[in-house]
A and B are shown apart, each in its own frame.
Chain A
Amino acid sequence: MSGSRSKSVVLWTLVTIALVTLSAPTVVVLGASFTGGNIITFPPDGLSLRWYARISQASDLRNAFLRTLQVATVCTIVAIPVGTLAGIALAKYAVRFEKTIQIYLLLPFTIPLIGSGIGLMLIFGNAGILGQLWPVGIACCVINLPFMIWAVTASATGLDPDLELAAANCGAPPLQVFFSVTLPAVMPGVITGSLLMFILALNEFLVSLLLVDARIVTLPVLIYNSIRSIITPDLAAISVVFIACSAVAVFLLDRLVGLDIFLKSK
């Protein structure tokens, strides 16, 4: 980077503030989860793992976490084929009404979450499927679908169409071209997209809040409900589950496709 001293002072000041703001909640939740006392105090009341022992025994927390995993799994399984096909279609073909279709497929982002959530709540309610977990997974899939499509189009634009023509010219029928040439080429996008879909569904709060009832609360909703009553260290310990999941996702993303992929200009 070229530039003067004042430039790096200004840049670094702003970046440091951003870094502290970004990391503070994570660091504090981690710290609070190891506290020895009954309430969260500063400086902490000694170190212990007692809150982890406590949450490993709490079946409501464990069940809520398992339900959340289930929701995220449904979301990802639906999103992978749907988003991959749409992404490839948008990136490769000259589609009529392309602009309109693009705007339409961006609806999940342009409609506010509360609107999407309430709309889905009304139609799932009419269909009589509220109170089950898979509709929550579908809902998470719909509201985050553009992420999946984006990820795939970003890697599909790098695919040379001549490769597919060459494969077809060598006698490969359409499906074989798709599975041997097109799909491997967009694989980084599919991996990025599905990781994003999984982790976003795992954390999805508002749509979950609207679609679940007391019998099937997901973990973010459970934490939200508990925050409203009282703040105890066991909540911090259970929040660490999310921090761990996030760390795993970041690690996988970096290993499988490289985090730098998000810096690439389109």
Chain B
Amino acid sequence: MRAARTAYPLKWRIMDTLEGVAAAIWPARFRRATPYLMLLPAVLLVGLLVLGLIQIADASLRTLDTTTFQFSDNYSIANFRRALTEPLFLVVAQRSLIAALIVTTVTLVFAFPYAYLMVRTRSPGLRKFLLIALFLPFFIGQVVRAYGWLIILGNQGMVNEALGLVGVAPMRLIYNYPAVLFGLVQYMLPFAVLMLAPALTAIPEELEAAAGSLGASWVRTFIHVVLPLARPGFIGAGVVVLTLSLTDFAVPAILGGGSQDFIANAIYDQFFRTSDQGLGATLALMLVALGSILVGLVFALFGAGTLAMGRSRA
């Protein structure tokens, strides 16, 4: 008996105990519920965001009394009226939306050839190089990247110093709208390429060869074969870039220098500069709604593309 016990390894005994405990608290007849149990922690964790949204909704309905700096106990929609009527917020919203559309278009134009070359190249070395050049900036935060642009484009930055050497007067290259757009495109490129690449991999190369052998030029092959088949990738990439650039904070703050605020910057200012939590919460809620409507619209029109999670992927 004793010999048999020592022959039974410790690991087995631990596993047996664990199996016993697991069977006691989660008997086999609960098996059908197991996937829900596995999903529970994630659902609870994401629940924090839902709670947060409820808090924001609550705060958005309370107005700030500017004489006492107290928030009202009763609800009113005064904040929403202010958010919709004050011209400043309209300007900011317009600026962010137009920027998001421009950034999405430009990013997709550059991301597509990058993803295409990366997927189609025959050289493993080139593929690896393109992947590394993509991931390195992807893993470096926005702040550091924006700081790099400040060094390059700043008033005493590299470009202006170089121009100075050939006798050109310094130009103002940052703290304007194009600088913010440029910074955003750079930030979004890796996201877009990574969403496009799987969709391009799914397109058999023979299709392109077939189109070519039937006499289509590469431009026609792209327009009629590659681009339509890459649609799930364009949807995924487009949605991600559109929402991320619409709601960005760091790039407008650093490269816009306070003159090019986006919606997120306006919300931050309401909370931390003006201390009007109610109005800030209202703006945040409207941004959440705007983002969801945009995402919902794209999904309803085109499906979830490469963004789908789980089994139901084609």
Residues of A bordering B, CB below 8 Å? 1-4, 6-7, 10-12, 14-15, 17-19, 21-26, 28-29, 32, 39-43, 78, 81-83, 85-86, 88-95, 98-99, 101-102, 104-116, 118-120, 122-123, 126, 138, 141-143, 145-146, 149-150, 153, 157, 173-176, 199, 202-206, 210, 220, 223-224, 227, 231, 235-236, 239, 242-243, 245-247, 249-250, 253-254, 259-260, 262-266
Residues of A within 8 A of B186 (CB): 21-22, 25
Query: A2 and B212: CB pair below 8 A?
Result: yes
Residues of B within 8 A of A220 (CB): 141, 143-144
**Complex CA–CA separation, A104 to B48 (angstroms):** 12
Given contacts A10-B113, A204-B141, A265-B198, contact A83 B42 (CB under 8 A): yes
**Complex CA–CA separation, A138 to B52 (angstroms):** 14
Residues of A within 8 A of B285 (CB): 115
Nearest CB to that of A231 among chain B residues? B150
Nearest CB to that of B190 among chain A residues? A22
Query: A142 and B22: CB pair below 8 A?
Result: no
Which of A95, A101, A110, A146 contacts B292, CB < 8 Å?
A110
Nearest CB to that of B272 among chain A residues? A210
Residues of B within 8 A of A235 (CB): 147
Query: A153 and B143: CB pair below 8 A?
Result: no
Residues of A within 8 A of B39 (CB): 85-86, 89-90, 95, 101
Min CB–CB distance B309 → chain A (angstroms): 5
Residues of A within 8 A of B146 (CB): 25, 227
Residues of B within 8 A of A22 (CB): 133-134, 136-137, 186, 189-190
Query: B189 and A174: CB pair below 8 A?
Result: no
Is B71 at the interface (CB under 8 A from chain A)?
no
Query: A6 and B218: CB pair below 8 A?
Result: yes
Query: A25 and B144: CB pair below 8 A?
Result: yes
A sample of 4 more A-B contacts (CB under 8 A), given A18-B111, A25-B149, is: A32-B151, A116-B52, A174-B23, A249-B135
**Complex CA–CA separation, A112 to B49 (angstroms):** 11
Nearest CB to that of A19 among chain B residues? B133
Number of contacting residues on B, CB 8 A?
113
**Complex CA–CA separation, A149 to B137 (angstroms):** 23
Which of B53, B117, B142, B208 contacts A119, CB < 8 Å?
B53
Nearest CB to that of B123 among chain A residues? A1
Min CB–CB distance B269 → chain A (angstroms): 11
Is B306 at the interface (CB under 8 A from chain A)?
yes
Query: A41 and B141: CB pair below 8 A?
Result: no
Given contacts A2-B209, A22-B190, A120-B49, contact A85 B38 (CB under 8 A): yes
Is B7 at the interface (CB under 8 A from chain A)?
no
**Complex CA–CA separation, A81 to B37 (angstroms):** 12
Is B301 at the interface (CB under 8 A from chain A)?
no
Query: A227 and B150: CB pair below 8 A?
Result: yes
Query: B162 and A42: CB pair below 8 A?
Result: yes
**Complex CA–CA separation, A14 to B185 (angstroms):** 14
- Annotate B76-103 by CB proximity to A: 1 below 8 A, 0 otherwise: 0000000000000000000000000000
Nearest CB to that of B310 among chain A residues? A90
Query: A15 and B137: CB pair below 8 A?
Result: no
Residues of B within 8 A of A18 (CB): 110-111, 113-114, 189
Count, A-B residue pairs, CB within 8 A: 338
CB pairs A–B below 8 angstroms (5 shown): A3-B212, A112-B247, A119-B51, A122-B52, A206-B250
Residues of B within 8 A of A98 (CB): 310-312
Query: B309 and A146: CB pair below 8 A?
Result: yes
Given contacts A114-B249, A239-B144, contact A259 B131 (CB under 8 A): yes
**Complex CA–CA separation, A186 to B142 (angstroms):** 31
Residues of B within 8 A of A42 (CB): 157-158, 161-162
Given contacts A146-B309, A263-B197, contact A206 B148 (CB under 8 A): no
Residues of A within 8 A of B309 (CB): 90, 102, 105-106, 146, 149-150, 153
Which of A32, A89, A106, A118 contacts B281, CB < 8 Å?
A118
Given contacts A42-B158, A220-B143, A264-B201, contact A90 B311 (CB under 8 A): yes
**Complex CA–CA separation, A167 to B189 (angstroms):** 44
Min CB–CB distance A34 → chain B (angstroms): 13
Query: B42 and A145: CB pair below 8 A?
Result: yes
**Complex CA–CA separation, A179 to B246 (angstroms):** 43
**Complex CA–CA separation, A93 to B37 (angstroms):** 12
Min CB–CB distance B113 → chain A (angstroms): 4
**Complex CA–CA separation, A227 to B149 (angstroms):** 12
Within 8 A of A (CB), among B189-241: 189-190, 194, 197-199, 201-202, 205, 208-209, 212, 217-218, 240
